[in-house]
Chains A and B, each alone.
Chain A
């Protein structure tokens, strides 16, 4: 909702004592209605502009909106530019009655509309503007669940190879052979980022292999909550590998929340301990290349992945394998090899299919509409556009 509300630099409140009064017609038919699908805190006011409000040579300089609360005195609440014909009033209370009138101003006179009926903003329980979004989300979620269920019942699902993930076992094996550590960096964001969550779930798979091979894993982190979650994860992996005694809390340690302080420390660890394998998975920012280059200079195999498009080129340049965007989120499902996890990847493909179909149809139809202008096609096109338009 874009409301053309902009302050007029010179409010015409103080009427200038010009010799000739410029008479203008008042705005007409003001109607106030509830603004739909909110928590009862806004109303929308519409009116027909004054007939003297013309794009060229109009006499109306501005509109003032007046509001009366519960029948009290009307107070000015906004000034709008000429041509305005609606106003959204926000921050209202659902237990108060509001009535409005609109005043048009010329350089030295004013003309007021009638007062609207008095109404209360309504509180709605469901935002029907989001119905299409809800349905599409439902289809994708349902297909994810459907494929998970199918997989649970034992149907084989094909998932193509993802190069970076095929290399995980090999990379861990290499560290084991060389007797060096594996460094796992989960990005610098906290647990309120799904990328960190994805990194932790991958850590679950990696640490399981690590526990089996009896390799050393080292995980400096930048957030205390990530430290807690990572410890739980690694501990569980060691338990399920049947070696709880080999687990040690010091595998994960907190360094500092500060982005570059963390980088300084991790760089130090890299050059001093020379890990054989480095995982850089999660939310990365400017530090991505500092870490990846330092890791590269100590000769480690590096597997990186992030959903930050700006950092991906650096990982591609400096790491051996890079998981691009969606692949990062697919990784834990893929590595687990569990059918039900793989099922969720199939669900994602359904989502992609919907997106591709919509794009294909949309572009085709809008091109035809732009060239030929057929009404039916325009109607279908408008429908597709409306389905994918998100209004809050």
Chain B
């Protein structure tokens, strides 16, 4: 069979597979969960095949990129079907953040800035959800804004998710009194700077177009001095660096950060200097925070995939190095 025919066959199979499952979903089909026996068998098969690859590599046959890709795909997808949970140790910076929110008095005003867009949502959205949930549980008032255009949209998605919970419905939280979404404003760090004198000048209306004055929650909020705590969910510029440099350094705001794992290392300098109260770094930080909030959200669910992916990457680094040392240094150095 020619490559082309194989490709067409593969695509046809995938399309049929998708159609079957889609129809199943539309007809109310439930999700699939492996039994632990199946899960262990899958893991065993993966480990065995990795060993086989190791043997192949030692014999001098370097595997191609595509094989690595397939392993990553499997390592990320299959754990979502597995019934395992793992113990999550809590790092001090996450606990510090949790504690600083916990010590706020009920009724305190918390400002949350959503400075990310959909591509970073897998990491930051779970943090947003559990943070908002924690605020509502402790009767804190939530003020939302965004320095990225898509931020407030992400905030609305998080709010919708949190408010749909039975526990929250009982509280009967009202828009404008218990929480408010001020929307997006262009101007990057200048927005923070100008908020230092007046929130209203930057957000004359909320995202719905309601005037700032007619929102009971923020009517008396002039600037940062009326905010008790702020939390910044950031995936880059403008984001955490600007919040620390302007809101914290100039206006003395208490700030906690939720960062993508890429950005988090740079923020440790601020943590050490005492400029921020804590950091949630990446999905791991999100999962730890969910654990402290006693809530099982997406970060916890995704952590297993995450751990698997890590193990796969480490396995491939080991395989690469074993090949390098055993299989003759020169041949291994050539590009695979």
Contact = CB atoms under 8 A, between A and B. Distances in A.
A9 B198 contact: no
6 contacts: A2-B252, A3-B251, A6-B225, A7-B227, A9-B105, A78-B225
B225 A5 contact: yes
Interface of B: 65, 105, 107-109, 119, 196-198, 225-228, 236, 249-252, 262-263, 265-266, 335
A4 interface: yes
A298 B262 CA distance: 27
B252 A285 contact: no
Question: Secondary structure of the B side of the interface?
Answer: loop
B196 A90 contact: yes
A7 B250 contact: no
B335 A296 contact: yes
A297 interface: yes
A90 B228 contact: no
Contacts of A383: none
A310 interface: yes
Contacts of B119: 260
A90 to B, nearest CB: 6
B263 A310 contact: yes
A1 B250 contact: yes
B252 A286 contact: no
A177 interface: no
A256 to B, nearest CB: 15
Contact of A5 (B109, B250, B252): B252
Contact of B228 (A6, A91, A285): A6
Given A286-B262, A299-B335, A7 B105 contact: no
A309 B252 CA distance: 28
A3 B247 CA distance: 12
Nearest to B65: A297
A310 B225 contact: no
Interface in A327-369: none
Interface of A: 1-7, 9, 78, 90-91, 260, 285-286, 296-297, 299, 309-310, 392
Contacts of A90: 196-197
A310 B235 CA distance: 13
Contacts of B109: 7
A316 to B, nearest CB: 15
Nearest to B104: A9
A308 to B, nearest CB: 10
B197 A3 contact: no
Nearest to B235: A286
A285 B117 CA distance: 15
B335 A7 contact: no
B231 to A, nearest CB: 16
A310 B266 contact: yes
Given A1-B250, A3-B251, A7-B109, 13 more contacts: A2-B251, A2-B252, A5-B252, A6-B228, A7-B226, A7-B227, A78-B225, A90-B196, A91-B197, A91-B198, A286-B262, A297-B65, A309-B266
A194 to B, nearest CB: 15
Given A90-B197, A91-B197, A299-B335, A4 B252 contact: yes
Nearest to A78: B225
Which interface residue of A2, A6, A309 has the most chain B CB atoms within 10 A? A6
Contacts of A285: 236
Nearest to B64: A297
Contacts of A286: 262
- Closest 10 interchain pairs by CB? A5-B225, A2-B252, A91-B197, A7-B226, A9-B105, A3-B252, A310-B262, A90-B197, A9-B107, A9-B108
Nearest to B245: A392
A83 to B, nearest CB: 14
Contacts of B263: 310
Contacts of A296: 335
